[in-house]
Amino acid sequence: MRNGITIGKAAAFVGITVKTVRHYHKLNLVAEPERDSSGYRRYGSAELLRLVQVRTLADAGVPLAEIEPLLDADAKSFATALADVEQQLNERIKELTARRDTLHRLTDGNRALLPDRAVALLERMRDLRFPPDEIAAAREGWVLAKALVPEGFDEYLTHVESAVEDTAFVALSRRAAEAVSLAPDDPRIAELATEMADYYLANPARLRIVTGLQARTEAATRYKLIAHHGEDQAPTSARLAALVETRLRTAGVRLPRPDPG
């Protein structure tokens, strides 16, 4: 062993650190060579080969705890074990890719929480000159809807995509957004509510925007959280929505009734 090399040179030749070599020793992945007459451990070709094998497997993603049996495995067992590691790596890659994509979407707050279709609809609302507060309220409501009624959200977006191309719907929606500046008991609120309800009743496809987001369980609670989001800070909007719902229920439209409690 006098012709061997020191641990420092062995680590450098293999491309790892001395600390890593010692860690491999601790895990019994590489046997420590005997000390020479000077008290130094000298690494020969056998130890270097073993270090290269361990480092290569570790770099390939094989967990250190699984390397030892691989080093002495036959060709078939070795190939099977590597296939398992490859599958684990592929799953990990998918997970990391999804996380990376989420980080990219975070640069646009809307895209982090909503699908591209919903983001495009918000942009369309801007193009149609909806008030910014109305767009913000729609965004928040859609985030809740996607979380609380995921099974119906795509169909809901389809109805909204169609509705924003309807000038009558857009005009009513703008008026509803602008009405927040009025007092809750202003008679114009009741008049607008009647117009809105009559419009929905005359256009069943548009009515689905109101009735579509109904969950299979705890429907009333989920409906209230979505349809009446933010109304604590907007009493006029709350009264308008309540009047529209009352008119629709009177006409026979089935809408969840929030728990009075």
Q: Exposure string (b/e) for 123-159, b if CB count within 10 Å is 16 or more?
A: ebbeeeebeeebbebbbebbbbbbebbeebbeebbeb
Query: Tokens representing 246?
Result: 């009352």
Yes or no: say if 101 and 144 are a contact pair by the CB < 8 Å rule: no
Yes or no: say if 220 and 168 are a contact pair by the CB < 8 Å rule: no
Taking only Cα atoms into account, the Rg of the chain, rounded to an integer number of angstroms, comes to: 33
Residue 61, helix vs strand vs coil = coil
* Per-residue pLDDT tens listing for the chain (261 residues): 457 899 999 999 999 999 999 999 999 999 999 888 888 889 999 899 999 989 988 988 888 988 888 887 888 888 887 888 888 888 888 888 877 766 665 555 566 678 889 989 999 988 988 888 888 888 888 888 888 888 888 998 999 999 999 999 999 998 998 888 899 999 999 999 999 999 999 999 899 888 877 756 666 677 677 766 666 667 898 899 889 999 999 999 988 775 544
Report d(CA 2, CA 147) in Å as an integer: 69
**Longest Cα–Cα distance in the chain:** 103
Residue 37, helix vs strand vs coil = coil
The whole-number pLDDT of residue 162 equals 93
Q: What's CA 212's distance to the chain center, in Å? A: 23
Type of residue found at 240: L
The whole-number pLDDT of residue 228 equals 65
